[in-house]
Amino acid sequence: MKVEFDAGKDAANVAKHGVSFARALDLKVFAVVRDFRFEEERYRAYGLLDGFAHCLA
């Protein structure tokens, strides 16, 4: 599987959170929930990355 993302947004995410979007496939997911805050369909995945809890939105 391939993850595609904007390089500028990735750089901003690394600066803010210390994690690249490229690591999304490394997330050991333990829960996925629907995010009802938006009109479009969105989900959040919760899991572990390098032993630390993360949320992928």
Report pLDDT digits (tens) over 1-57: 778 899 999 999 999 999 999 999 999 999 999 999 988 999 999 999 999 999 998
**Which pLDDT belongs to residue 2?**
79
**Which pLDDT belongs to residue 1?**
76
**Which pLDDT belongs to residue 38?**
86
In 3D, which of 56, 1, 7 has the Cα closest to residue 27?
56
Separation CA 45–CA 43 (nearest Å)? 7
**Which pLDDT belongs to residue 57?**
86
Q: What angle do CA 22, 19, 10 make, to 5 degrees?
A: 60
